[in-house]
Structure 1
Amino acid sequence: MKVVKFLVMALSILVISCATKRPQGATEAEVLYKEAQELVGKSRYIQATEKLNLIRSQYPYSFYATHAELLQADILFSQENYAEAAAAYILFRDFHPKYNELGYVIFRISESFYRQLPETYDRDLSAGVEAIKYYNELMTTYSNTEYVKDAQKRIAQIEDMLEKKEIYIADFYFRTKDFFAAKNRYEDILSTLKNEQERPRIMANVEKANKELVEHPVESK
């Protein structure tokens, strides 16, 4: 009987200690935010989101309400929900234009679009165009941040994919004997071409396309 009482007492103490073991904070909003941070560190994103929702619903004017919005966007990013993360970061930027770490927010917007890119250049690259837009904004407005080097690398990578996509489309027109479309595409590519190894082949195809357009003007259009 004494053993049973001891076990019940020990279990009660354990439950009470677990229930009361919360981070310290000046306000309940701060405590909830710290709890959310701890849960994020353990990848317990659903529970962290519940804490953040409490802050936003019960303490909407708290100092931590703004931080809760950004942490929620970070959670979406960590969950690889990149489209939702991009929307959340953009919304945060629009509502908090004077936030002191806005360079981080812009970088995360860029990264959210970048991570939506397909593995190959022959698919939809519209996310890359959006990523470049925000990377450029980052480098223009927050040029002293630690994120600039990564932004430069990402832009170069995306631009390479976009260039390959344009060449891929022009080559398709050329193969299918749509010489008018191929010629126009190739000429646009040549004006900004970075991969100089492709230049001789593209110029040769332009000459062939011009020749076909002269010899068969009706069939080539």
Structure 2
Amino acid sequence: MVIRMKKLLVILLAAASIVSCAKPEVRLNAEESMQKGLALFQKKNYDEAIPLFENSIMEAQTPDIASKAQLFLADSYFLSKKYPEAIPAYQQYLDIYGSSEDANLAMLRMGLSHYALMDKVDRDMGAAEGALRSFTTLREKDPAFAKEHDLTKKIVELRNMLAKRELMVAEFYIRIKEPQAGLKRLDFIIERYKDTESYEDALYDYGKYYADIEGKENDALRYFNQLMKENPETKYAKDVAKQLVALLDRVQKRLDKKGAK
């Protein structure tokens, strides 16, 4: 027992000696972290640079260092294709330093991060909505910057994608006999997405829906006429012409029947 105790004591003393000889962890200040982070960033070692920029933000004593560290942190996530992490990092920068000269670039890259996360049109559209919000805000804020980066093209693409998604959902609801939910979606497209490819689809679907309901001929005529008036070359032109003839014939027959009574 005594021998075991002596052995245990030796082990504890040795461990204490190792601990006492170990160098205490040295915490880098903001400037040191920034310099080391930038060196790694320039070598494209973004993953290694990230904790250094985070430390620089925590240790920063001035807004100048904090803002630079925040932007380089976001850029490190962006350039390493860690887009889910890049988005809140850029948002944090914009929330605090939104009037800085680098704010446009931060918003652009935040939008591009959303854009890179977009999935197919039949999936969640959160990323597309985020990208559209960033690009639209940036175009309104600085049209020249938006033109330089060809954001209008992306905005058109995103609006068409979101409108198509709404149309798919609307048609699904109408198909499963939940028309009110479907018509609400069509209304949203007609109101918000007049500049998209799905706008004329929404007008046509609305007219077709009412055309199949006895007594709703006037509503169907209104949507079909609006479609033909706004886009005479629509892909639905031939079908709408047939629908209009049939609807007018139904209305006339009903009036004749009513007059005969």
Q: TM-score, normalised by structure 2?
A: 0.60
1:156 aligns with 2:156: yes
Structure 1 segment 144-183 matched on structure 2, within 5 A? 144-145=144-145, 149-183=149-183
- Counterpart of 1:40 in structure 2 is 41
Q: Give RMSD over aligned pairs.
A: 3.0
Structure 1 segment 69-108 matched on structure 2, within 5 A? 69-108=70-109
Structure 1 segment 1-40 matched on structure 2, within 5 A? 32-40=33-41
Unaligned runs of 5+ in 1: 1-27, 217-221
Instruction: Give the paired residue count.
Output: 187
Unaligned runs of 5+ in 2: 1-28, 217-261
Structure 1 segment 55-134 matched on structure 2, within 5 A? 55-61=56-62, 63-118=64-119, 120-134=120-134
Stretch deviating more after TM superposition (190-199 or 133-142): 190-199
Structure 2: how far apart are the matches of 1:62 and 1:206?
Answer: 55
Q: Secondary structure at the match of 2:145?
A: coil
Deviation at 1:67, TM superposition (A): 0.8
Q: Evaluate the alpha carbon distance shift between residue 64 and residue 117 of structure 1 in structure 2; reply closer, same or farther with a 3 A threshold.
A: same
Q: Evaluate the alpha carbon distance shift between residue 142 and residue 102 of structure 1 in structure 2; reply closer, same or farther with a 3 A threshold.
A: same
Residues 139, 146 of structure 2: 8 Å contact kept: no
Q: Which amino acid aligns with 2:210?
A: N
Stretch deviating more after TM superposition (67-76 or 29-38): 29-38
CA deviations over 1:79-121 (Å, ceiling 9, x no partner): 3222321111111112123322211112122222222211x11
Residues 108, 138 of structure 2: 8 Å contact kept: yes
Q: Evaluate the alpha carbon distance shift between residue 105 and residue 205 of structure 1 in structure 2; reply closer, same or farther with a 3 A threshold.
A: closer
Deviation at 1:174, TM superposition (A): 2.8
Larger of the two Rg values belongs to structure: 2
Deviation at 1:172, TM superposition (A): 1.0
Residues 159, 196 of structure 2: 8 Å contact kept: no
Q: Secondary structure at the match of 1:122?
A: coil
Q: TM-score, normalised by structure 1?
A: 0.69
Structure 2: how far apart are the matches of 1:190 and 1:137?
Answer: 22
CA deviations over 1:112-157 (Å, ceiling 9, x no partner): 2222211x11111122222222212211222232665432122111
Structure 1: how far apart are the matches of 2:148 and 2:79?
Answer: 21
Q: Which amino acid aligns with 1:41?
A: Q
Q: Evaluate the alpha carbon distance shift between residue 156 and residue 62 of structure 1 in structure 2; reply closer, same or farther with a 3 A threshold.
A: closer
